[in-house]
Amino acid sequence: MSDLLLVLVQTALLVLLAPLWAGLVAALKARLQMRRGAPVWQRWRDLVKLSAKETLLSEDASPLACVVPYAVLAASFTVCAWTPVLATRDGLGFAGDLVMTVALFAAVRVLLALLALECGTTFGGMASSRHLALSALGEPAMILSVFTLAIGAGSTQLSRISAAVAAAPAQWLSPSHLLALTAMWLVVLSETGRVPVDNPVTHLELTMVHEGMVLDVSGRHLALLEWAAHARTLVLLTLVANLFMPWGIAGVASPAALGIALGAWLIKLLIFAVVVAVTESVTARMRLFRVPEFLGMAFLLALLALSTDSLLRG
């Protein structure tokens, strides 16, 4: 399979399956809570329904409010293009790596904060300030945790990091690797707005963080932002799956190897969905002033992972 075709296939998988993963988590939570719940594809139904509705804008909104949803969607899909899903081949690795991924995610956060401020409501300003504050605490932990793996790979390209970790399975249980994996998982919970940092299904304005960012968005714009959020969630989960646990990922783009890689990736996503559903069913959302401690622990674990790895290599 050519590099271009592989990039297109991997991007399509992330873009199309992202809403299904969110629906799977909701369905599992419903079963754990003895409810029937909505079908797995309910998120796609919601996106289609929202895209058919009229988009309403505040009288105080600037033209930026019309541009941000499309810019956020484009940035989210761009990250999908160089995220290793099935194989460790570079693909578009020359165009984006770990640094570019973090930079685009940061740009998305700034755009969402500006969009939340466009309507001039109190809840939008509150949610944007909380969102940026939590992201400022979680971003260094994410960078340090992946840098722990990048040092061994000698590159910040995601595909090369995945290939280097896959080539050394004996190191998967090393202290630095496990510390980095734990830190990355805590950051993923924060970045995706999951319990215990945030509740993705809450409708209480005073407690919302991620959902409060799009509280005043409607119609097609809301559909674009929701689709982009699902894509970013699946990208982060894929980074955990294929950078820290790259078992099954294909080293060569043969049909058999890609089939095994697809099955391994889907199994890991299913495991993540079960873990998230169980966690959200038995754990309450922590109070806002405790979240910095949660993210501070993630940063400390990532720093310990990087220090431990440097000492072992030195």
pLDDT by residue, tens only, the chain of 314 residues? 678 888 999 999 999 999 999 999 999 999 998 998 899 999 999 999 999 999 988 887 888 999 999 999 999 999 999 999 999 887 665 667 899 999 999 999 999 999 988 877 788 888 888 889 999 999 999 999 999 999 989 999 999 999 999 999 888 889 999 999 999 999 999 999 898 898 877 666 556 778 778 888 999 999 999 999 999 999 999 999 999 999 999 988 889 999 999 999 999 999 999 999 999 999 888 888 899 999 999 999 999 999 999 887 76
Helix axes 64-81, 219-239, angle to 10 degrees: 30
Residues 6+ apart with CB under 8 A from 56: 218, 219
- 213, 221, 59: which is closest to 124 by C-alpha? 213
| 194 phi, psi to nearest 5 deg | -100, 165
Phi then psi dihedrals of residue 309, to 5 deg: -65, -40
Closest by CA to 271, choosing from 297, 298, 250, 248, is 248
Q: Which of 221, 211, 206 is nearest to 122 (CA)?
A: 206
pLDDT of residue 207: 62
pLDDT of 205 reads 58
Helix (H) or strand (E) holding 234: helix 219-239
pLDDT score recorded for residue 147: 93
Q: How far apart are CA 188 and CA 205, in angstroms?
A: 23
Amino acid identity of residue 236, one-letter, is: L
CB 294 within 8 A of CB 196: yes
User: What would the 3-class secondary structure string for 129-174 be?
Assistant: HHHHHHHHHHHHHHHHHHHHHHHHHCCCCHHHHHHHHHCCHHHHHC
Q: Write down the pLDDT at residue 127.
A: 85
Distances in Å between the Cα of 222 and the Cα atoms of 49, 63, 135, 210, 293 are 11, 16, 21, 13, 32
User: In the prediction, which pLDDT does 4 show?
Assistant: 83
- Cis ω on the peptide bond leading into residue 292 (within 30° of 0)? no
Phi, psi of 117 (to 5 degrees): -85, -15
**Count of CB atoms situated within 10 Å of the CB of 196:** 18
Rg value, the chain, Cα: 19
Report helix, strand and coil shares of the chain as percent, to nearest 5: 70, 0, 25
pTM over 0.85: yes
pLDDT at 95: 64
Helix (H, G, I), strand (E, B) or coil at 87: strand
**What pLDDT is recorded for position 60?**
77
